[in-house]
Each structure stands twice: as C-alpha cells, then as structure tokens.
C-alpha cells in the first residue's frame, strides 16, 4: 500500500514538469514528438520546447531575426517550418546544433542575402526551401556544408546573377529550382561540380541567350526547364548535354532555331517549343531518341517547306504536336492527320498565306500602343524600329519587358514611364538619345536592366537614377562620355554590372563609383583612359571583373586595384604597357583567376612581375607582344589556358626554364622561337636545349645514345629479344 502511495506522489510531481515543457501558446504532441506554434505573433523562438521534439512548426509569426543558438535546446529536430515569419536575417550559427534536421522551410520571408555561415551545422539536411523571399545575392560557399541536400528551392526571388561555384558542396542535390527570378547572367562555372543533379528549373527569368557553357557542365542532368525567358534564337550546338532527356523551351520569343541546335544532346526524348514565334522548322539533327516534339502555338504553315520535316518525323516515329497555321485548307489541322505527299506549295488564294487579319481595336479601348506588339502571356511589349519620335502611352500595366530600341527619341522627358512600375527590362538602344531628364524613370521601382547603348549621351545627371534604385545592369556603352563625375551612380545601390565600353573617357577619378557599393563587373573597354586614381574603386569591395583593355594606360594600375579582394578577372590588353614591374599584381594575387596582357607591345616582365600569382590563375594571355623571355612560371599549376603566341622568344639557355615548364604542361602554348637562326620557327617546346647546363633531359638522352653505340651487336640482339 505504501509503495502504491509513493508511486502516485512521484507521478503527480513529474506530470506538471512534463506539461510545463510545452510553451503556453503552442500545441505539443509528445507521442509524435510534434510541436505547433503557428500564427501566434511570436517575436522569438520559444525556449521551453520539449527537448525531444522532432517536428517544429513556427509558421505565421513575427521573428524577423533568427539569432545565434536559437535552436540549441531542440537538438533532435528533423523538420522545421518557418514560413511567413517576416524573417530578414539568419545570424551566423543560428542553426548550429541541428545536425539531425532533414527538412527546413524558410519560404515567404524577407531574406535578402545568404552568407557563407548561414547554414552551418545542417550536415543532414535533405530539403531546403527559400522560395518567395527577397534574395538578391547568395555568396559562393553558402551551401558548402549541405552535402546531403537533394532539393533546393530558390524560386520567386530577385536573383539576377549566378556566380561561379554558387552551388559548391551540393554533391547529392538532384533538383535545383530557380524559377521566377530575374536571372540574366549565368557564369560558366555556376553549375560546376554537381554530379547528381537531374533537374534544373530556370523558367520565368530574363535570360536572353542560352548559357551553353554553364549548362554543359551538368553531365548528369536529364530535365531542363527554360520556358518563359525572352530568347529569340537557339543557335547551332546551343544545347550540349549528353544525358539530357527532357527540354522545355516553351512560351519564349524564339523566332529561329538551328537544325543543329540539339545535335550534342543525343539522349533527348522530349522537346517542348510550344507558344513561340517559329514559322518554319527543319529536320533536327542528331536526335535518335526523340519521341515527342511540341510545336503548338507556333505559326507554322503545312506546305511543301514542311514536307521533309514531316517525312523525318514519320520515319523516326516522332510524335509532333502541331496545328497548321496555313494554307487555308489545312488551317487548324493537326500535322498527324496529314501525309507528307499532301504538303504542297502552289497558287493558293492570297489569304491562305497569312494568318487571319486582326481587326485593330479603337485607340481609346486599346491597352497597347498601335505601333507596338504586346504579348500579354509573356508580359512583353515590342516597339523596335517603328520610327517613333516620342515614348508611346497606355502600355499594359503588367508589362515586364519594354523594347523601344532603334527609334528616334533624342530626349527622354520627365515622367516618360510613370505608369510602368512593373517593368524589369527597358531597351532604349540606338535611339539617338542625347539627353535624359531627371524624373524620366519615375515610378520604375522594379527596373533591373536598363539598356542605353549606341546613343549620343555625353553626360548624365545623377538624379536620373534616383527613381530607379533597383537597377542592377546599366548599359551606357557606345555613347559620347568623356568623363564620369564622382557621384554619377550614387543613387544606384544595387548596381551589379556597368557597361561603359567604347566611349571617350580619359581618366577614372577618385571614388568615381561612389554609391554603387555592390558593383561586381566594370567594363571600360575601348576608351581613352590614361590615368586611374589610386582610390578610384575605393568602396567597390565586391568587384570581380575589371575590363580596361583598348585604352592608353602605360603601366599596370597596381595602386587602383588595392582593396579589391574578390577581383578574379583583369583585362589590360591593347594598352601601351611596355614593361611590368615587381609586385604589379600582388594586391589581387589571392583572387585573380583570369589575366589578359596580350597585344600590349610588352617587352619585359621583371623577375617579380608575377609575385603572388600561381595556383589560382586559370587563364593567362601574353600573346602578340615583344617578349624574348618571361619569369619563372612554375607556380602556375592551375592553368587551363595559356597563350604565348607571336612573341620573339630567344631560344638560348636563358629560356631553358620556360622550355622545361612548357614540356611539363598538357596545354597548347603557342610559343615559337625567333632566334637564334638555327631554332627560328621552331616551337619552344621542341627547340634544342641539349647543351644547356641544367638540362638533365638533354644529357640523359645524349648519354643513352652514346651507350647504345658501345653495346655489342650480340647484346643488342639479346635485348631486342
């Protein structure tokens, strides 16, 4: 009896303790180790969640920041839901201690940046959802700790650029979803080292061309979704993916398609080209496994020009979805219902050759200017080369791409685009523009791409950009700029890429890019730059590419590139640099990967000219110079491209180190001897250096020949046998 009473006392004491472990605003199911604290206006993660909880649902709260160690008290979590919590930042170490977590959903928040330490500690994570945030940038290496991740959802964000090695470390990832961003540029190595990736979704972005080099890195990809991008042409061998089986190129603006576009992707079984602007199609080469081709929604005529395609489709047993746009007696018929022999050309009535005429709506009822072509499905408006002299009005309010190139505007006046709040890409190339008034882009809060190339601009008021702070890509190349004043871009805090090629700029002044602190790429090719201030790029710590080729520089701008810790590509070709002194590239030695020093008339590189450079350099261009020798190249162990062509190398014993280094490479170098006369025209790789001190290979070969001359005939026969 006493034992029973004692048990009751203990149980009554323990039970309240167990109950207290559940936060008052939450629902705890200790049997299923599940805790739900949804829509409770919580401003921080509860601290009294049961320790053995495996599934935690915190959706619909107001957390804003996930601080360091927020989940240390629940180390057994496997599923964590944090959608719609107004999260803006994940602090370093916030998720450490969650080594068992397999599912993390951070969708529908306000996260703008992902840092390298954001996901430290999630060594078992398999699914990561970051959709519907405000992501503008993800640092390479951010996913480096997620070796078991198999699904990554980055859709519905504001990404515009995918840098090299962005997904480094995702060895097991099978599907990456990047739909509904603003991606315009994909670096060649963006998808490198993803051996298990099977599906990639890049639909609903702003890709204007197919990133062939980047896509070709994915050797195991089987499904690629690229629909709803503004591409107009698919070129020869554009898709080079040996394992690809399903390719979606639907709802784009494709007008022309090379018959060899898919020749390097022989495993393709499905290609979706529906809802484009294709008017004719040829037999597609190299597609032995193709069984379905979707061409619905294209204005393709079923006449004699389609006959060979129809014969190919029938012979190859390819299911082609296509409804004829003409001639009249076939309009609306499915291609499958026709025989190849029926596809003829002839003197059909004129209306048979055209689509049914479109009755124009009265101007007052139209939401599309009469001179433009509005595509409501794509949210694009095309007004190219329409002889317009002023910006039209009454565009569809949901327009995201507006193309006004090749018109004659002369000036862009204040309020010209006041109703275009959704436009992300604005094309004003070749419009003879010589003035842009402040307020011209008022209301364009979502403008990311602004194309002003090939105009007559010689200056621009900083106030012009005040109303469009989201501009990330600015094209001002081929204009008449002679200088860039400090503060020109001070209202562009999100500027990522600046194109100023082929103007007449003579100098880059102190901190001339002030305000554009997120700048990654600067293109200054083809100006008259002869001076760069030492603090020209003072606040541009994120600069990765700097193109200064085709200018009038007489020395490497060593002082100007100090403080650029991420610079990986530097182009100095076609300047007036005749010599390179010691430590010229030392400030960027740790980050530099691609260095262009060709066509300089370069005569000398000091012995320490390449100090600090080495393993990180992937490409080095020194062709078309006047070099007779170059410094020690042994540290350059990571080269993928090296060009030494068209230099007058003097192939005497002083060049022996270069000769030996070239012979250690499995690369085409192009170095040729110009002297002495006995070696002129020979490749440095093959030139005779046998008499030079230190040429062990030459001595060894010479000794072998001597020894072979003294071997008795009988012995020689024995050795051959």
Tokens of 600: 């300089």
Instruction: Flag whether pLDDT at 462 surpasses 50.
Output: yes
Q: 3-class DSSP state for residue 223?
A: strand
CB 240 within 8 A of CB 263: no
Q: What is the number of other CB atoms lying within 10 angstroms of the CB of residue 148?
A: 15
List the one residue out of 434, 445, 502 whose CA is nearest residue 469.
445
CB 481 within 8 A of CB 453: no
The pLDDT value given to residue 347? 58
Let me know if 320 is exposed, middle or buried by CB neighbors in 10 A (0-12, 13-18, 19+). Answer: buried
Question: Would you place residue 284 in the very low, low, confident or very high pLDDT band (cuts 50, 70, 90)?
Answer: very high
* CA distance to 209, 210, 213, 259, 260, per residue, from 238 (Å): 9, 7, 9, 11, 8
Q: What is the number of other CB atoms lying within 10 angstroms of the CB of residue 637?
A: 12
The pLDDT value given to residue 21? 74
Mean pLDDT on 545-550: 95
Tokens of 562: 């100090």
The gap between the terminal CA atoms of the chain, to the nearest Å, is 102
The pLDDT value given to residue 697? 52
Instruction: Flag whether pLDDT at 566 surpasses 70.
Output: yes
Q: 3-class DSSP state for residue 217?
A: coil
178: phi then psi, degrees, rounded to nearest 5:
-120, 25
Q: What is the mean pLDDT of the chain?
A: 87
Cα separation of 302 and 324, whole Å? 6
Dmax (CA) for the chain in angstroms is 115
Cα separation of 241 and 233, whole Å? 18
For the chain, domains (ranges, CATH) are 25-197 (3.80.10.10)
DSSP letter string, 467-493: T-TT--EEE--SS------TTTTTT-T
Cα separation of 695 and 376, whole Å? 72
Instruction: Flag whether pLDDT at 13 surpasses 80.
Output: no
List the one residue out of 27, 18, 65, 28 whose CA is nearest residue 45.
65
The pLDDT value given to residue 3? 45
The pLDDT value given to residue 400? 86
Q: 36-67 pLDDT, tens per residue?
A: 999 999 999 998 899 999 999 999 999 999 99
Q: How many residues does the chain have?
A: 721
The C-alpha angle with vertex 119 and arms to 117 and 124, in degrees rounded to 5, equals 140
Q: 3-class DSSP state for residue 674?
A: strand
Using a pLDDT cut of 90, give the percent of the chain over it: 62
Q: 3-class DSSP state for residue 320?
A: strand
Q: Helix, strand, coil: what percent of the chain each, to 5?
A: 10, 15, 70
Q: 139-174 pLDDT, tens per residue?
A: 778 898 899 999 999 999 989 889 888 998 999 999
Mean pLDDT on 513-535: 93
The pLDDT value given to residue 492? 93
Q: What is the number of other CB atoms lying within 10 angstroms of the CB of residue 51?
A: 11
The DSSP element (H or E) to which 15 belongs, if any, is helix 2-20
430: phi then psi, degrees, rounded to nearest 5:
55, 50
* CA distance to 43, 125, 709, 714, per residue, from 704 (Å): 82, 61, 9, 18
Residues 6+ apart with CB under 8 A from 120: 92, 93, 95, 96, 145
Please write down the long-range contacts of 369-373, taking CB distance under 8 Å and 24 or more positions apart.
369/393, 369/394, 369/395
Instruction: Flag whether pLDDT at 257 surpasses 60.
Output: yes
Cα separation of 22 and 271, whole Å? 53
| Extended beta strands in 392-513, E state | 401-403, 411-412, 425-427, 435-436, 449-451, 473-475, 497-499, 507-508
The DSSP element (H or E) to which 719 belongs, if any, is helix 713-720
Instruction: Flag whether pLDDT at 365 surpasses 60.
Output: no
Using a pLDDT cut of 70, give the percent of the chain over it: 91
How many angstroms from the chain centroid is the CA of residue 342? 46
Residues 6+ apart with CB under 8 A from 712: none
The pLDDT value given to residue 473? 87
Let me know if 50 is exposed, middle or buried by CB neighbors in 10 A (0-12, 13-18, 19+). Answer: buried
- How are beta strands 137-138 and 604-605 bridged, if at all? unpaired
How many angstroms from the chain centroid is the CA of residue 413? 34
DSSP 381: E
Instruction: Flag whether pLDDT at 358 surpasses 70.
Output: no
Question: Would you place residue 432 in the very low, low, confident or very high pLDDT band (cuts 50, 70, 90)?
Answer: very high
Question: Would you place residue 721 in the very low, low, confident or very high pLDDT band (cuts 50, 70, 90)?
Answer: very low
Q: 3-class DSSP state for residue 19?
A: helix
223: phi then psi, degrees, rounded to nearest 5:
-135, 125
How many Cα atoms occupy the beta-carbon half-sphere of 169 within 13 Å? 18
The pLDDT value given to residue 348? 52
The pLDDT value given to residue 270? 96
The pLDDT value given to residue 286? 93
The C-alpha angle with vertex 712 and arms to 710 and 714, in degrees rounded to 5, equals 160
The C-alpha angle with vertex 194 and arms to 192 and 197, in degrees rounded to 5, equals 130
Q: 615-672 pLDDT, tens per residue?
A: 899 899 999 999 999 998 999 988 888 999 999 999 999 898 999 899 888 888 999 9
Q: What would you report as the CA-atom Rg of the chain, rounded to the nearest whole angstrom?
A: 32
Q: Which residue has the higher pLDDT, 526 or 329?
A: 526
CB 654 within 8 A of CB 684: no
Tokens of 178: 């990047």
Q: 666-705 pLDDT, tens per residue?
A: 888 999 999 998 889 999 998 888 788 877 654 444 443 4
List the one residue out of 412, 354, 420, 411 whose CA is nearest residue 393.
420
Q: 333-347 pLDDT, tens per residue?
A: 999 999 989 888 875
Q: 185-201 pLDDT, tens per residue?
A: 898 889 988 999 999 99
CB 91 within 8 A of CB 114: no
Cα separation of 94 and 232, whole Å? 45
Tokens of 607: 């012995």
Instruction: Return the bridge partners of 427, or none.
Output: 403, 451
Cα separation of 83 and 93, whole Å? 20
Tokens of 482: 């002679």
Question: Would you place residue 612 in the very low, low, confident or very high pLDDT band (cuts 50, 70, 90)?
Answer: very high
């Amino acid at each position: 009896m006493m034992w029973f009473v004692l048990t009751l006392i203990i149980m009554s004491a323990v039970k309240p303790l167990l109950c207290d472990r559940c936060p008052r605003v939450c629902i705890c199911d200790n049997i299923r180790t599940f805790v739900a604290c949804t829509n409770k206006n919580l401003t921080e993660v509860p601290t009294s969640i049961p320790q053995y909880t495996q599934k935690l649902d915190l959706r619909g709260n107001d957390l804003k920041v996930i601080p360091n160690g927020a989940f240390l008290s629940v180390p057994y979590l496997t599923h964590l839901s944090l959608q719609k919590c107004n999260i803006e930042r994940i602090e370093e170490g916030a998720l450490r201690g969650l080594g068992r977590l397999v599912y993390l959903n951070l969708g529908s928040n306000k996260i703008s940046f992902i840092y390298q330490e954001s996901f430290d500690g999630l060594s078992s994570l398999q699914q990561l959802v970051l959709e519907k945030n405000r992501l503008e940038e993800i640092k390479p290496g951010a996913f480096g700790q997620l070796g078991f991740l198999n699904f990554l959802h980055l859709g519905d964000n504001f990404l515009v650029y995918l840098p090299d090695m962005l997904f480094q470390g995702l060895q097991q990832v099978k599907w990456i979803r990047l739909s509904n961003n603003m991606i315009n540029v994909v670096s060649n190595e963006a998808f490198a080292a993803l051996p298990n990736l099977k599906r990639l979704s890049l639909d609903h972005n702003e890709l204007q061309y197919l990133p062939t080099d980047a896509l070709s890195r994915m050797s195991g990809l089987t499904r690629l979704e690229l629909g709803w991008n503004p591409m107009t042409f698919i070129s020869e061998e554009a898709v080079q993916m040996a394992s690809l089986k399903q390719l979606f190129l639907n709802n784009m603006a494709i007008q022309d398609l090379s018959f060899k576009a898919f020749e390097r992707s022989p495993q393709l079984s499905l290609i979706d080209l529906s809802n484009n602007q294709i008017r004719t199609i040829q037999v597609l080469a190299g597609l032995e496994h193709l069984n379905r081709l979707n061409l619905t929604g294209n204005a393709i005529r079923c006449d004699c020009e389609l006959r060979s395609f129809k014969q190919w489709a029938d012979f190859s047993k390819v299911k082609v979805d296509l409804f004829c746009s003409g001639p009249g007696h076939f309009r609306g018929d499915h291609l499958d219902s026709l025989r190849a022999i029926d596809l003829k050309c002839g003197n059909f009535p004129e209306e048979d050759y055209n689509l049914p005429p479109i009755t124009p709506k009265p101007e007052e009822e139209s939401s599309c200017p009469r001179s433009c072509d509005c595509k409501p499905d794509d949210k694009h408006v095309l007004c190219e080369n329409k002889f317009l002299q002023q910006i039209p009005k009454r565009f569809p309010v949901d327009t995201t791409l507006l193309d006004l190139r090749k018109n004659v505007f002369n000036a862009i006046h204040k309020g010209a685009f006041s109703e275009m709040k959704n436009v992300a890409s604005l094309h004003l190339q070749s419009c003879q523009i010589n003035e842009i008034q402040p307020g011209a882009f008022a209301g364009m809060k979502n403008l990311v791409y602004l194309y002003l190339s090939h105009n007559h601009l010689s200056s621009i008021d900083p106030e012009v950009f005040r109303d469009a702070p989201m501009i990330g890509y600015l094209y001002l190349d081929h204009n008449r700029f002679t200088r860039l004043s400090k503060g020109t871009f001070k209202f562009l805090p999100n500027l990522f890429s600046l194109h100023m090629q082929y103007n007449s700029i003579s100098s880059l002044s102190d901190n001339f890019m002030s305000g554009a602190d997120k700048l990654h790429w600067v293109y200054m090719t083809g100006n008259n730059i002869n001076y760069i201030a030492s603090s020209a790029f003072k606040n541009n710590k994120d600069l990765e590419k700097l193109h200064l080729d085709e200018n009038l520089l007489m020395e490497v701008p060593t002082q100007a590139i100090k403080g650029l810790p991420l610079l990986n590509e530097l182009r100095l070709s076609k300047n007036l640099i005749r010599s390179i002194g010691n430590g010229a590239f030392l400030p960027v030695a740790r980050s530099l990967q691609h260095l262009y020093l060709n066509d300089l008339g370069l005569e000398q590189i000091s012995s320490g000219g390449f100090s600090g450079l080495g393993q990180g350099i992937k490409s080095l261009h020194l062709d078309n110079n006047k070099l007779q020798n170059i410094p020690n190249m042994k540290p350059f162990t990571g080269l993928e491209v090296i060009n030494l062509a068209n230099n007058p190398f003097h192939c005497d014993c002083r060049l022996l180190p270069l000769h030996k280094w070239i012979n250690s490479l499995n690369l085409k170098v192009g170095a040729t001897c110009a002297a002495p006369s006995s070696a002129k025209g020979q490749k440095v790789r093959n030139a005779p250096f046998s008499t030079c001190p230190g040429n062990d290979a030459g001595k060894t070969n010479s000794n072998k020949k001597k020894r072979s001359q003294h071997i008795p005939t009988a012995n020689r026969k024995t050795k051959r046998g």
